């Protein structure tokens, strides 16, 4: 012990065994003054902890210096959770024992930081290896002529990601560089991208964020909005074109006149977009009046003007006339039960008004889009 720390003059006459015995008796609650007299320690010492040397662990050694670890002696009654950790006698490495529920505090010394960085880099290499194993095999490019109108439209929107010119990668849907959403809802956006990936027009970029994949299932994609892509389209037979060439071809074709072959897809697309926007509008207004609205499963029914099918509650029709009469008479419902029914009735009416309001937006969007194919 004295090899690493100089002992105080007041205890130099004691052996290491006596020091440890003195400390254990102190922890067990014996009075400090009596211990000082028994071990012939000066009466001027007011605190034994100030003159006792640090504890040198016989079991712990620094993994970097191969030297013992030490810790200052804690006062009696000190909870284990706030006791000081062992520290290397040379460097700044600390040893933290496992805490409650297996939680482990990490040492912040330079050497431990380097080790953790090496572990992160090694894990990244393993992850890239898994991605390359699953997505590294390049499939033949998809002929440009085989793409549908909607696929071309989605590709053009994907390529407009705000990235630097000349880059081949396509930014993820959730990239901050994108100025606009691909579709009114995240589900629709991901579904369109997923279809392009499944048909082979998009390839996974191996430098994508690993969090977009499920490593437990062999790096299958679990978040299509976070994947970075590479275009895999051929303008010429069997030759993968560049991103810029694909963008130019798409822009030139889609900025021209509407082709008759596109009309059926365009009609389906415009009603799908208008329906999604109408549902979102209903949800937005419903949130403003604190009304719980869940119409995703029956979106077409709601948008087409039958919201009461979703908003009806048991017994509502039976109490409609009663509640309306009392409202016209300026009276309040006569019981808590009727109060809840009245609240449900008013919420239902509010929902119907929101749905009817959305119909005008739906019709306006549909008419506007229909003008493109006239």
**pLDDT tens track, the chain, 374 positions:** 557 888 988 999 999 999 999 999 999 999 988 899 999 998 888 888 889 999 999 899 999 999 999 999 999 989 988 899 999 999 999 999 887 666 788 999 999 999 999 999 998 898 889 899 899 888 899 999 999 999 999 999 999 887 766 678 999 998 888 878 888 888 888 999 999 999 999 999 998 999 999 988 888 999 999 999 999 999 998 899 999 999 999 999 998 888 888 888 888 888 888 877 877 777 787 788 777 766 555 545 555 444 333 333 333 343 334 334 444 444 444 444 444 444 444 444 544 454 444 444 444 444 444 444 44
Angle 328-333-337 from CA coordinates, rounded to 5°: 145
Beta strands 239-240 and 233-236, pairing class: antiparallel
Task: Encode burial over 273-286: b for 16+ CB neighbours within 10 A, e otherwise.
Answer: bbbbbbbebbbebb
Local structure of residue 170 (DSSP, 8 states): B
Which letter does DSSP use for residue 331 in this model?
P
Q: What is the pLDDT of residue 340?
A: 43
Instruction: Please report, to the nearest 10 degrees, the dihedral formed by the alpha carbons of residues 160, 166, 172, 178 taken in order.
Output: -40
What pLDDT, on the 0 to 100 scale, is given for residue 367?
42
Distance CA 332, CA 294 (A): 29
**Angstrom distance (rounded) from CA 155 to CA 149:** 10
Q: What percentage of the chain's residues is helix, strand, coil (to nearest 5)? A: 50, 10, 40
- Strand-pair partners of 236: 239
DSSP state letters, 51-109: TSPPEEEEEEE-TTT--EEEEPPPPTT--GGGSPPEEESSSS-EE----GGG--PPP-S
Task: Label the pairing between strands 55-61 and 213-214.
Answer: unpaired
The residues with which 94 forms a beta bridge, in sequence order, are 87
What 8-state DSSP symbol labels residue 163? -
- Nearest to residue 122, comparing CAs of 133, 114, 110? 114
Cα separation, 300 vs 279, in Å, equals: 9
Q: What is the pLDDT of residue 294?
A: 62
Burial of 118 from C-beta contacts in 10 A (0-12 / 13-18 / 19+):
exposed
Whole-number pLDDT of residue 354: 46
Write the DSSP symbol of residue 201: S
Question: In a 3-state reduction of DSSP, which class is residue 114?
Answer: helix
The single-letter DSSP state of residue 168 is: -
């Amino acid at each position: 012990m004295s090899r690493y720390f100089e002992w105080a003059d007041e205890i130099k006459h004691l052996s290491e065994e006596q020091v440890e015995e003195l400390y254990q008796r102190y922890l067990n609650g014996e009075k400090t003054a009596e211990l000082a007299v028994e071990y012939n320690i000066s009466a001027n010492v007011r605190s034994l902890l100030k003159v006792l040397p640090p504890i040198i662990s016989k079991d712990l050694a620094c993994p970097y210096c191969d030297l013992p670890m030490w810790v200052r002696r804690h006062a009696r009654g000190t909870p284990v959770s706030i006791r000081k950790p062992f520290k290397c006698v040379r460097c700044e490495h600390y040893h933290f024992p496992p805490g409650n529920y297996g939680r482990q505090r990490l040492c912040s010394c330079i050497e431990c930081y380097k080790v953790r960085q090496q572990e992160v880099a090694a894990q990244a290499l393993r992850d890239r290896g898994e991605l390359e194993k699953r997505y590294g095999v390049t499939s033949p490019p998809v002929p440009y002529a085989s793409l549908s109108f909607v696929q071309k439209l989605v590709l053009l929107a994907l390529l407009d990601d705000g990235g630097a010119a000349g880059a081949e990668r396509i930014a993820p849907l959730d990239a901050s560089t994108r100025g606009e959403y691909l579709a009114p809802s995240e589900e629709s956006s991901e579904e369109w991208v997923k279809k392009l990936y499944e048909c082979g027009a998009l390839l996974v970029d191996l430098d994508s964020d690993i969090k977009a994949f499920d490593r437990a299932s062999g790096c299958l994609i679990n978040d299509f909005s976070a994947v970075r892509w590479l275009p895999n389209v051929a303008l010429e037979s069997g030759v993968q074109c560049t991103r810029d060439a694909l963008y130019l071809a798409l822009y030139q074709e889609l900025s021209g006149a509407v082709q008759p072959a596109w009309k059926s897809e365009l009609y389906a697309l415009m009603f799908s977009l208008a329906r999604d926007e109408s549902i979102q509008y209903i949800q937005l207004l419903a949130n403003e009046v604190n009304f719980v609205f869940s119409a995703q499963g029956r979106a077409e029914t709601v948008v087409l003007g039958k919201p009461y099918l979703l908003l009806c509650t048991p017994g509502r029709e039976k109490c409609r006339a009663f509640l309306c009469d009392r409202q016209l008479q300026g009276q309040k419902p006569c019981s808590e039960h009727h109060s809840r029914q009245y609240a449900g009735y008013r919420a239902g009416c509010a929902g119907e008004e929101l749905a009817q309001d959305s119909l005008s937006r739906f019709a306006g969007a549909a008419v506007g889009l229909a003008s493109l194919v006239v």
